[in-house]
């Protein structure tokens, strides 16, 4: 979604979505919100990313929409950090922690470098 400022320059909208808001949504709601947002040209920053199963569902939903006009999403997050206690490990319980995630249209969001502790990306208007 491009906006213009007072001097007529184009600007990109970034939505920063809190962990709490995400936690209050169902998987289907999250995926719809992300896909609609990307299609509208927003850049989305999720404080805490999706669970791995949700990431897979998001990719699936993205693929359903692929067309010459919609080329998919650019998504960047860090590998999950396992934060499970010994008891959880023993009993196979507990979930690995989803982490900060940035999502946008591949036409707008370009990752130029990614390593263990730093994701560097460029954002442009559509």
Partner 1 sequence: MGMWSSLRGRFSLWVGKIFGRRSVKIGIYGPPNVGKTTLANRIIKDWSGEDMGAVSDIPHETRRVKRRRDVKINVDRSSIKLDIVDTPGLATKIDFRDFLSYGLEEEEAKKRAKEAAEGVIESIRWLDDLDGVLLVMDATEDPYTQVNITVIGNMEARRLPMLIVSNKIDLPTASPVKIIEAFPQHTVVPISALKGNNMDKLYDDIYEHFR
Chain residues that interact with partner 1, rule: CB under 8 A: 51-53, 55-56, 59-60, 62-64, 66, 68, 71-80, 82, 92, 95-96, 106, 114-116
**Nearest approach, Cβ of 36 to partner 1 (angstroms)?**
16
Pick the closer one to partner 1 by CB: 15 or 72: 72
Give the helix/strand (H/E) hosting 12.
strand 10-12
Pick the closer one to partner 1 by CB: 55 or 125: 55
Characterize the bridge pairing of strands 14-17 and 43-46: parallel
**Nearest approach, Cβ of 6 to partner 1 (angstroms)?**
34
DSSP reduced 3-state for 109: strand
Span between the terminal Cα atoms of the chain, in Å: 8
């Amino acid at each position: 979604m491009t906006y213009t400022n007072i001097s007529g320059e184009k600007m990109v909208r970034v939505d920063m979505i809190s962990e709490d808001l995400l936690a209050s949504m169902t998987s289907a709601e999250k995926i719809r919100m992300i896909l609609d947002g990307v299609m509208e040209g927003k850049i989305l920053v999720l404080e805490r990313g999706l669970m791995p199963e949700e990431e897979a569902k998001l990719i699936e939903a993205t693929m359903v929409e692929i067309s010459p006009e919609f080329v998919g999403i650019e998504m960047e997050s860090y590998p999950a950090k396992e934060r499970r206690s010994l008891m959880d490990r023993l009993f196979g319980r507990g979930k690995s922690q989803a982490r900060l995630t940035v999502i946008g249209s591949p036409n707008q969001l370009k990752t130029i470098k990614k390593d263990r502790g730093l994701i560097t990306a460029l954002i442009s208007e559509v």
